[in-house]
Structure 1
Amino acid sequence: MCRRDHRRNGIPKKFKKEILRQTEELSREPITPAERKKRADLREQLIFTIDGADAKDLDDAISVEKDDAGWKLGVHIADVSHYVKEGSLVDEEAKQRGTSVYFADRVIPMLPEALSNGCCSLNAGEEKLAFSCFMTLDRKGNLRGYRFQKSVICSKVRGVYDEVNQVLEGCAAERLKEKYRPVLASLQAGQELAQLLEAKGRRRGTMDFESSEARFFLDQNGACVDILPRSQGLSEKMIEQFMILANQAAALYAKSLEIPFVYRVHEDPDPERLNTLQQLAAGLGLRARRIQEGVRSADLSDLLRQAEGTPAQNIINHQVLRTLAKARYDNKPLGHFGLNLDDYCHFTSPIRRYPDTAIHRILTGVAEGITVDRLQKKYQDFSREVAVLSSACELRAQRAERQAEKCYMAEYMRRHLGETFDGIVSGATVRGIFVQLANSVEGFVGVEDFPDCEFQFDGLLTHTDVRSGRRLTVGDPMKVQVAAADVATGRIDFTPAE
């Protein structure tokens, strides 16, 4: 049932034959000497990628060098817009898809594999076309300059997050030490810079959520056999910081030129939801006086830090996410609340996000010397259309991914019917409570499952039994038994086990 969620949410899966034919032809096009002459030749530079072990669409590579003045950071992004020409069948299909959709067992790509996993992917040892962002930072990690240039690169190492984490933590096997020896100095310089950037973000008020995402493990038949919390190591944090910085630089550049653009925006939280969050946080014993209309991202970051490492952590994370507005795309720079930045965009993932491809196309026009007036005429309506359509496509993809995750969780818990687990009360409604397990699985316990109790609900946090005074409050530990799991809907039901 989990495999049908792309159909249920209207996500196209197969590409038309003509599109596949065109992309196969594109993927076989050689990089000509004339094309190389137009670009910065970075093939001899120490550039490398770091991605998940199973990733095939490698759209970002980095180069890092530390000197007496600070750092020189290069973020080199697959030049998808070179292959996907404006108005082509491939371009129109990518625009309608908007984004790649990721499930535990497969990816529904925005672009056909001949591009996404082939000529656009920055595979190690292969000459590739890129769009590079060169940044200089001082010794405190402040961005002092940036420039954008088309390039040709050759990645030296295909890094894997888990492996790089072992190298940076000093616990790598000899085989891994040898693999990463050519880029070890770059990794160490990059880690130092990333830690500076992360600290600057915290001081700025960037919201840092401790991930509560799940990682699904499937057997050879595609059935979910285990679920573990997804963790973020040193290398994941490093790449995240570098991509945020490149995205910020692209937005700053576009705004300074006053050209049409597609910005990533995140508006202020809804006041009513802030009030709910304030009551919840206060009920859990957290300092929440500043959680009100006009709240700063720094105030919400402080709340997240208070909850970190406590039973309330996942509950507060979840409620803060519900309180925030949904990030979206817009052709105006409306700011990004969560990152506490005035200007932000998505530049770094054109293989899997159409807005990135769109702004690459606009920045290519800048590099080619097209005047601002001509860019306005050419891309003003385009940037507005892309922002609206891509925001809708992103929501569609998120719905499909989340529903599939629920189905996988139900499939896994169906294997454990009748078994007992420790959990935490993660939510409450008039009908009952939600309990979340350590592996992030959440199930429902109805008030009718407490036959000897007569509960009254306070409307937010707590059910109180009017007979015994027993309280069921969000944040309380609770032992539950798996009663039912419906794979088709993703619903999981628990019963009390104590």
Structure 2
Amino acid sequence: MSKSSDNNIDFSTVADPYAQREAAKYEQPIPSRELILQLIEQHGKPIRRKQIAEAFSLESEDQLEALRRRMRAMERDGQVLFNRRQQYCLVDKQDLIAGRILSYPDGFGFLKPDDGGEDLFITPREMNQVLHNDRVLVRVSGVDRKGRREGKIVEVLERNTHQVVGHFMSEHGVQFVKPDNKKITQNVLISKGGSHGAKKGDMVVATLTKQPTSRHQPIGEITEVLGAHMAPGMEIDVAIRTYDLPCEWPDEVLEQIKSLKKVVAEEAKEGRVDLRNIPLVTIDGEDARDFDDAVFCSKTPKGWKLLVAIADVSHYVQQGTALDLEAKKRSTSVYFPEQVIPMLPEILSNGLCSINPDEDRLCMVCEMIINEQGQVMRTKFFDAVMRSHARLTYNKVSAMLEHDNTKLKKKYQAVLPHLEEMYALYKAMREQREVRGAMDFDTQETQIIFGENRKIEKIVPTQRNDAHKLIEEFMIAANSAAARYLNRKKMPRLLRIHEGPSEEKIKNLKTFLGEVGLHIGGGDKPTPVDYMNLTRTIKGRPDAHLIQTVLLRSMSQAVYSPEKKGHFGLALDAYTHFTSPIRRYPDLMVHRAIRHCLQGKSPESFYCGFPEIALLGEHCSSNERRADDATRDVVSWLKCEFMQDKIGETFPGIISAVTGFGLFVELADLYVEGLVHVTSLGQDFFKFDPLSHQLKGERTGVCYRLGDSVNIVVIGVNLDDKKIDFELLGQQRKIKARTPAADTLDKPAKKKSRKKPKHKKPKHKGKVEKKVHK
């Protein structure tokens, strides 16, 4: 077969529009994914691989093997389906949807489609054959009683759970591991002889030897015994294994970086703009170790020229190398309290790619010309070599610019004039930010201070000064400039998109605001300006914290995608991540795309096309969530340990979330959160109203609402479940301290007890990217 049966096209002679890209990737290129999909579509029915090879006149063994691998990859990525007759067909033609499984502790799940479409509900029965984060193909099987589309799993494309961390259990001769990760709801059966010395109650790592199916649970064997229960200091080890975070460098990576020196090679500096005499400076936190951005600002007749120089990671991490594949696999650095799992080896992250003071460094520069109103008028990107003239911190810059610290001003007098111009520019850009309506919620972040033996000494709020905001504003400007540049060049690229709130969330928000006498403009589609106008209106109100929290929770979650959907939170039509390639893989991809354009090459010849970029965006978004979940678990465990000796003590707090099963309360001075279960609220039936975020007693009329101040007593801490239980002051029962494993580990298997419903605070998906946008 050399021609399509439908349109009589001879595909052996068709010019592949992505031939340049394929030639750049392979010595013996084969047809692109796009052309193969076109062939299958025009063929009109399922097709064998042999027929595909014949259609493109592929004959050599290398070409046939390359085609086999490509078809397997397309199958894995959900672009084609390999049916029982060993034929390929388009997924869309089969009314199938590819996506990633999101599992919930109660046993059900959702499919998050790769194309960004509406999530599908997956029943607990269907969930038996998959684990959290697996990629699958599903078909829509109907609509449930809540009006949600239901999906039936047709095929598992990719398994993403290969080891499970949890407690080793043995009951009635059956050995299994109870997962520590609550998103994995199935116990892992341990094969005969696979316990390898683990004792009941030990925290262990089980490697899966058989994945779950509709008929049997996952099966595995113990490959590591971490210790008894959750001993102090084990929390990060458990999180690393629970979330399968890559933390060791493969031998291929170690071999590749062996030749790297501590100084930049002279030949690498050739052909670059020399900025070593420009007084660029880095401004970071006190404890920062990797510096991936430097800034410089000078006055012009009509405004300012701003240089944002970013470490040129793409020079050292070449596409397709072992180092690149490992960076892609990790996607992001993971920041635990006092410990980091970096995306790149230390010789790069803290060495060659870190903009250390008084050392030559390769960089990619975004040059912006900004007018006196703070508007970016022109941008330019170029490769350069630079030297940082000072390693500054936020506190030092704030002391000089906000508090006129003469001692520091004298010490840094060489760069002070440029810092003052930066401050003037920041104020102009800040005004422009307010005009366009970028989100600026007043949220509180905290820092854990450790004492001896890694015990929490205290939890303190972090203070953001104008130096933080200055750098954040400059990084946002550079990120936005990079997105506009790549959009203009029509390049395959990863954008950072943040969609506006859904119609349902807007409807619920308006209902809530109506109850507190407020209104948000914009009709059915409020804009960022409408949101910010409302936040200005509520300043000074006693319920301002409550209203801001509800506004924030109406937002969606920011993700990586090639789609041009803009960034609602920042009120920008185009946004990407360009400024942190040391710790984020999407930034590295953006650097490569920009350099591709600077070299005058066409979008079609870029090594990564739009279909692959879309899948990469989903991969990076998933790994970003994984890193957040792992960090949250560690912090939750540390806070539980911190509260163990405070059982019986009384604290003031604020209701931070309201659910049908109780109230989550954040302690005012400790910044620790716990649950007041609904059964402890008194002799009444409390009805949950999700629109007004309150629990109200039917008989007494007592009402507990989001943002209310309360006094609580700590009644229990459970290290295993990472939960803290509170009761309201005056309503507490007799307090009984619980050991970490008192709930489950030592109870007889047949003994039944009445348990409270499982509780879990709803995720805050409306997280606006408040941190410094590097």
**TM-score scaled by structure 1?**
0.93
Tell me by how many angstroms 1:173 deviates. 6.7
Distance 2:323 2:650 in 1: 51
> Residue 406 of structure 1 aligns with which residue?
636
> Residue 246 of structure 1 aligns with which residue?
478
Q: Secondary structure at the match of 2:600?
A: coil
Task: Name which of 579, 587, 598 aligns with 1:367.
Answer: 598
Distance 2:549 2:284 in 1: 27
Distance 1:120 1:463 in 2: 53
Tell me by how many angstroms 1:61 deviates. 0.6
Q: How does 1:51-450 map to 2 (within 5 A)?
A: 51-170=284-403, 172=405, 174=407, 176-283=408-515, 285=516, 287-290=518-521, 293-308=524-539, 310-375=541-606, 379-438=609-668, 439-450=670-681
Residues 192-229 of structure 1: CA deviation (Å, up to 9, x unaligned): 21122122112111111212222111224222221122
Distance 1:471 1:202 in 2: 37
Q: Secondary structure at the match of 1:236?
A: helix
Q: CA RMSD in A?
A: 2.2
Distance 2:358 2:529 in 1: 43
Tell me by how many angstroms 1:135 deviates. 0.6
> Residue 480 of structure 1 aligns with which residue?
712
Residues 143-179 of structure 1: CA deviation (Å, up to 9, x unaligned): 11110000111001111112221222225372x3343
Asked if 1 retains the 8 angstrom alpha-carbon contact of 2:653 and 2:712, the reply is yes
Q: How many percent identity over aligned positions?
A: 36
Asked if 2 retains the 8 angstrom alpha-carbon contact of 1:297 and 1:338, the reply is yes
Amino acid in structure 1 at the alignment position of 2:317: V
Tell me by how many angstroms 1:269 deviates. 1.3
Residues 389-415 of structure 1: CA deviation (Å, up to 9, x unaligned): 211111111211222222233233334
Q: How many residues align?
A: 494
Asked if 2 retains the 8 angstrom alpha-carbon contact of 1:105 and 1:222, the reply is no
Stretch deviating more after TM superposition (393-402 or 247-256): 393-402
Stretch deviating more after TM superposition (323-332 or 222-231): 222-231
Amino acid in structure 2 at the alignment position of 1:392: S
Asked if 2 retains the 8 angstrom alpha-carbon contact of 1:311 and 1:475, the reply is no
Distance 1:78 1:481 in 2: 50
Amino acid in structure 1 at the alignment position of 2:664: F
Stretch deviating more after TM superposition (352-361 or 449-458): 449-458
Asked if 2 retains the 8 angstrom alpha-carbon contact of 1:212 and 1:314, the reply is no
Distance 2:414 2:724 in 1: 49
Task: Name which of 38, 41, 50 aligns with 2:274.
Answer: 41
Tell me by how many angstroms 1:307 deviates. 4.4
Q: Secondary structure at the match of 2:569?
A: coil
Change (3 A) 1:10 1:487: same
Tell me by how many angstroms 1:190 deviates. 1.0
Change (3 A) 1:447 1:291: farther
Residues 318-351 of structure 1: CA deviation (Å, up to 9, x unaligned): 4333321211111232211111211111100000
- Does 2:247 match 1:13? yes
Larger Rg: 2
Asked if 1 retains the 8 angstrom alpha-carbon contact of 2:713 and 2:726, the reply is yes
Distance 1:171 1:497 in 2: 47
Tell me by how many angstroms 1:316 deviates. 3.8
Stretch deviating more after TM superposition (301-310 or 438-447): 301-310
Asked if 2 retains the 8 angstrom alpha-carbon contact of 1:291 and 1:300, the reply is no
Q: Secondary structure at the match of 1:25?
A: coil
- Does 2:259 match 1:25? yes
Q: Secondary structure at the match of 1:181?
A: coil
Tell me by how many angstroms 1:483 deviates. 1.9
Stretch deviating more after TM superposition (303-312 or 104-113): 303-312
Structure 1: stretches of 5+ with no match in the other structure? none
Distance 2:429 2:708 in 1: 36
Residues 76-122 of structure 1: CA deviation (Å, up to 9, x unaligned): 00000000011000000001111111111211111111110111000
Tell me by how many angstroms 1:317 deviates. 4.0
Stretch deviating more after TM superposition (196-205 or 55-64): 196-205
Change (3 A) 1:305 1:409: farther
Asked if 2 retains the 8 angstrom alpha-carbon contact of 1:271 and 1:292, the reply is no
Stretch deviating more after TM superposition (65-74 or 398-407): 398-407
Change (3 A) 1:45 1:320: same
Distance 2:275 2:695 in 1: 63
Tell me by how many angstroms 1:133 deviates. 0.5
Asked if 1 retains the 8 angstrom alpha-carbon contact of 2:520 and 2:534, the reply is no
Change (3 A) 1:429 1:60: same
Change (3 A) 1:409 1:106: same
Higher relative contact order (CA 8 A, sep 6+): 1
Distance 1:117 1:320 in 2: 39
Distance 2:388 2:592 in 1: 23
Distance 2:417 2:585 in 1: 34
Distance 1:291 1:489 in 2: 43
Distance 1:253 1:271 in 2: 32
Change (3 A) 1:289 1:144: closer
Change (3 A) 1:453 1:323: same
Structure 2: stretches of 5+ with no match in the other structure? 1-233, 731-774
Q: Secondary structure at the match of 2:665?
A: strand
Tell me by how many angstroms 1:463 deviates. 2.9
Q: Secondary structure at the match of 2:453?
A: coil
Distance 1:326 1:302 in 2: 22
Tell me by how many angstroms 1:362 deviates. 1.4
Change (3 A) 1:273 1:55: same
Distance 1:451 1:257 in 2: 64
Residues 11-59 of structure 1: CA deviation (Å, up to 9, x unaligned): 1112123313422423446321x43231110011110001111111110
Distance 1:446 1:98 in 2: 38
Distance 1:489 1:126 in 2: 48
Amino acid in structure 1 at the alignment position of 2:340: V
Distance 2:491 2:538 in 1: 42
Asked if 2 retains the 8 angstrom alpha-carbon contact of 1:63 and 1:73, the reply is yes
Amino acid in structure 1 at the alignment position of 2:624: E
- Does 2:706 match 1:495? no
Distance 2:643 2:398 in 1: 31
